[in-house]
Amino acid sequence: MTTAGDIMHRGAQWIPAHETLDRAAQMMRELNVGALPISDENERLCGILTDRDIVIGCVAMGHDPTRVTAGEMAQGTPRWIDASADVSEVLEEMKGHQIRRLPVIENKRLVGMISEADLAQHLTDDQIGSWAESVYARTTMR
C-alpha cells in the first residue's frame, strides 16, 4: 500500500498566521515552493497560502504585503491528510475539494506536503488523468 507519507515532499514548513505576506514570499523563495501551510498560535493548520494568493489577493488589490498577514488570507476549511492514509484517500481528498496541494500531518504535526509534482512522480497515468480532470475541469487556478 502506498501512503501519503510515501509520496509527500518532506520538510514542509508552516508560516505563522501573524507573519506578513512579504515574509511569506521570502520563505517561498528560500524553500523554492509555491505554497505554505498557515498555522495558528498552537501550530494547527488554519489555511494554505499560495504565491497566487499574494499576487491576486494582495498586490493586485492595491494592498501592502508588509501589512497583510498570512492569517488574513486564510479562507475556508483547511484540508489535510494523515501520513498513513492510502494514496486513494489522498486522491479523493484532493479531487473532492478540488485542491492542488495537501498538507500531510502525523501525530498532529506537519510532516510534508503533497503537490501536483509529487502526484506526477508517484502515480499511474490513469490516476493522474482522473485527478487532473476532476481538479482542472471545474475550477480556476487556486
The predicted-structure confidence for 15-57, as pLDDT tens digits, reads as follows 999 999 999 999 999 999 999 999 998 888 999 999 999 999 9
C-alpha cell at position 50: 499560495
Which pLDDT tens digit goes with each residue over 70-121? 999 987 788 999 999 999 999 999 988 888 899 999 998 899 999 988 988 8
Does residue 91 form part of some domain? yes
Strand partners, 96: none
Out of 6-20, 88-102, 122-136, least confident range: 122-136
Q: Is 44 helix (H, G, I), strand (E, B) or coil?
A: coil
Per-residue pLDDT at 142: 46
Alpha carbons 128 and 131: distance in angstroms, whole number? 5
Domain residue limits at 104: 4-136
Q: What is the pLDDT of residue 138?
A: 54
In sequence order, the 6+-apart residues with CB closer than 8 A to the CB of 23 are 15
User: What's the whole-model pTM score?
Assistant: 0.83
| SS3 of residue 115 by DSSP | coil
Structural domain includes residue 18:
yes
Indicate the number of domains in the chain. 1
User: Would 141 be classed as within a structural domain?
Assistant: no
Describe the strand order of the beta sheet including 9-10 as a list of residue ranges.
9-10, 109-114, 102-106, 81-82
59: CATH: 3.10.580.10
pLDDT for residue 11: 83
